[in-house]
Amino acid sequence: MNSPLWIAPRKGQDWIDQPCLDAIAWFRSVTKQRDWETRMDNVQANYESALTKWAQGEQVPLYDPSDAIFWYIYQANAFAQDRRNFFVPEGFRIAPVMHRIGHLLGHLMQIEGMNDRVETLLKKGRKTPDAGLYEILVAGAYKSRSWANVQFVPEELGSSKTPDLVVSSNRRRWAVECKRINRSGYELEEHACAEALAKPVHELARRLRRRLLVNVRYLRELKEYPTDTLIKHVESYIANPQARLVLEKDNLIMHIRDADWTMLETVMAHDDVYYGSSRMVELIKGSYDLSYDHSFSAEWTPSARMPLHADRVHQASIVSWRSESFHAAKAKAKHFRSTVGRASQQLTLEIPSAVHVGYEALGGSSADDMRHILNAMEMSRFDAEGTRLRYVYANYWRPENSTARMESWAVSETTAFYRVGKHKTPEPLPHHLLFADSDGAPGNHW
């Protein structure tokens, strides 16, 4: 394992990401110049205004959510050629998508209806860009893997049942529907519960100016825990600071300790560090564990040059948590099943069909072996009556908020497939990945 004690390189920062720039240029080519400039100016103005308030300690939204797609484009451009405006806590998941689209551009330009779909993304899909970007990635996967004809079905034409794509090659012809999963209502509730459980810990740590680290594995659904579940154990630890408290009770596994500030101060003597970033968590905890979500709170002084970076961190507390509840995993699997159900409503009996479900995993509560097993169980019982749905693909990817010294972004990816019904129809897109041209290593999950 590489040591976290590295200093950011002072030279060699003039590189550009050409695929990102190519994707942006393509998007710009299907947009009226005046509209493009106006929307980009608005993103820039909102961002600069927010930076001023961040420098004063007020963490306001950085962009207008009603035009999220242009925030994505702005961040992709910042990543590609001017890192001063790159907002790492969100940009780390945007850059890989835009890079891949640029990499696939030669294939994408051969897809019928592609420019119309991009125009729809920039207009009608401006609030929810992830769905449209996922459709582009899936279309690119088919075109780059020997399907001769890939076509977006015009949304304004056809019956009420229209898939996103029709792909054909030789005598094979398939309908393809894409669904991008964002956090379900259950997952949003789960994260809200996690923050509510962490809040008293952060408040106590701030009041006592303690640098507290809490790792907790919840064995039951988070909504079942009283809000004082964590704080009472933290108070017991503070009353006996000689011991590093590890406990297994109240249906959780918990580890509490005080942070060693040595790594953070050593690095921040030379570098400013993004507030609340994976890098800051790593320096405070000594490592960054992707299998956990991290609730972070601190008192800090913003950098004069870069208000989103900290010049100094005076006090911090981190509650790192992971849900290991079977019932929680089962609830998330039901969300997967309902998503497939909505997708199947766009399919008919005319030709065999596949549904692609895109799942971006952020944090340890998002992706695990149990999720895959439960999804498989749900699909084994799925009723595709009225359609010729043959396969469901689950495209799982996890962008990593990288803490490596010479790594700009990283994505872990896996594709699971679920056969629907009893048949011997070959898969339309076996072993595929979205972010790589290779087939990947055997196996369904990381």
Torsion sign (Cα): 279, 283, 288, 294: negative
CA distance 137 to 156: 22
Task: Specify the DSSP element, H or E, that contains 207.
Answer: helix 185-208
Q: Is 418 left (phi over 0), alpha (psi -120 to 50) or beta?
A: beta
* Per-position pLDDT tens, the chain of length 446: 467 877 777 776 677 899 999 999 999 999 999 999 999 999 999 999 998 887 777 778 999 999 999 999 999 999 999 777 888 878 888 999 999 999 999 999 999 999 999 999 999 989 999 999 999 999 999 999 989 999 999 876 555 678 999 999 988 999 999 999 876 667 788 889 999 999 999 999 999 999 999 999 999 999 999 999 999 999 989 988 776 667 777 788 999 999 999 999 999 998 888 888 888 999 999 988 878 889 999 999 888 877 778 899 999 999 999 988 888 877 777 778 888 888 999 998 889 999 999 988 766 554 456 677 777 877 888 888 889 999 999 998 888 766 666 666 778 888 888 898 888 899 999 989 999 888 776 655 54
Q: Strand pairing of 252-258 and 293-302? A: unpaired
Burial class (CB in 10 A: 0-12, 13-18, 19+), 428: buried
Give the pLDDT score at 109: 96
Longest Cα–Cα distance of the chain, Å, equals 74
Torsion sign (Cα): 201, 205, 206, 208: positive
Q: Which of 391, 381, 376 is nearest to 423 (CA)?
A: 391
Q: Are 132 and 125 in contact (CB under 8 A)?
A: yes
Structure token digits, residue 287 = 């490592």
CA distance 100 to 298: 35
CA distance 255 to 130: 36
Give the pLDDT score at 367: 47
Reduced to 3 states (helix: H, G, I; strand: E, B; else coil), residue 96 is: helix
Give the pLDDT score at 402: 66
CA–CA distances in Å: residue 34 to residues 27, 39, 202: 14, 9, 47
Q: Which of 393, 386, 394, 382 is nearest to 421 (CA)?
A: 382
265-272 contacts at long range (C-beta below 8 A, 24 or more positions apart): 266/5, 267/4, 267/5, 267/6, 267/7, 268/310, 268/311, 268/312, 268/313, 270/7, 270/8, 271/7, 271/8, 272/303, 272/305, 272/306, 272/309, 272/310, 272/311
Give the pLDDT score at 32: 94
The one-letter code for the residue type at 78 is A
Give the pLDDT score at 243: 62
Give the pLDDT score at 366: 47
Torsion sign (Cα): 81, 85, 88, 91: negative
Is the whole model's pTM more than 0.85, yes or no?
no
Give the pLDDT score at 92: 86
CA–CA distances in Å: residue 152 to residues 163, 291, 427: 8, 37, 20
